[in-house]
A and B are shown apart, each in its own frame.
Chain A
Amino acid sequence: ETGVTQTPRHLVMGMTNKKSLKCEQHLGHNAMYWYKQSAKKPLELMFVYNFKEQTENNSVPSRFSPECPNSSHLFLHLHTLQPEDSALYLCASSQGTGGPGETQYFGPGTRLLVL
């Protein structure tokens, strides 16, 4: 295990549901990330948090709402999703401030299916 945990591991939701994904890192890192991984596409960075402050929003639709209450926990709140949002959602953390060259440690991901 890399020290980054994600729950739930699998999630099926309808387009009108509201659900949340949770990420926790036990590495003492300061930066946390959300990525989306779709089949045959590169990992897409969604959000970056540095010391609980959002430092990057990569033009993500508002139906995805992140929350970072502290440096160890990161949430992704989901509402009114579309079927094309079905993907593997990965959380990652890094020690520093999210700068270039920092090693990112990934969780196992949440496999999301939107019906």
Chain B
Amino acid sequence: QKEVEQDPGPLSVPEGAIVSLNCTYSNSAFQYFMWYRQYSRKGPELLMYTYSSGNKEDGRFTAQVDKSSKYISLFIRDSQPSDSATYLCAMSGGGATNKLIFGTGTLLAVQP
């Protein structure tokens, strides 16, 4: 079983839709949860950062962490064509899990 599972997509939505991106994980030691956005031919850039459980909102983006279910989500409201990219979840913890463990990424296409 992979430490982090993420549906690779592709996910295609119309402009203005609410997008839900998800990851599940198996290691209960993970404490830090991140979402990176990667445009084509670019490196990943940090989009959202959450410590432990709960929600975090930044503009049109909301990150949710449910540690009891080992499940994290990224919601994008009023999606725009400029949101078209690959979204990578990543997480890390303490001790032996200091490394940042990434999901495979979900390719999102927002159609105008």
> A-side interface residues toward B, CB under 8 Å?
2, 4, 6, 40-43, 45, 56, 58, 90, 92, 98-101, 103-109
Contacts and interface: CB of A to CB of B under 8 A. Distances in A.
Nearest to A45: B99
B51 interface: yes
B42 interface: yes
Contacts of B98: 98-100
A96 B105 CA distance: 26
Interface in B1-41: 2, 4, 8, 31-32, 34, 36, 41
A98 B45 CA distance: 17
A106 B93 contact: no
A90 B46 contact: no
Chain A contact surface mostly? loop
A90 B103 contact: no
> Which of B44, B45, B90 counts the most A-chain CB atoms under 10 A from its CB?
B44
A101 B32 contact: yes
A40 B104 contact: yes
B92 interface: yes
Q: Which 6 A-B pairs have the closest CB atoms?
A: A106-B43, A101-B32, A43-B102, A42-B102, A100-B92, A100-B98
16 contacts: A6-B43, A42-B2, A42-B4, A42-B103, A42-B105, A58-B99, A99-B98, A100-B32, A100-B93, A100-B94, A103-B49, A104-B100, A105-B45, A106-B36, A106-B44, A108-B43
Contact of B41 (A6, A42, A43, A108): A108
A66 B92 CA distance: 24
Interface in B40-91: 41-46, 49, 51, 88, 90
A100 B97 contact: yes
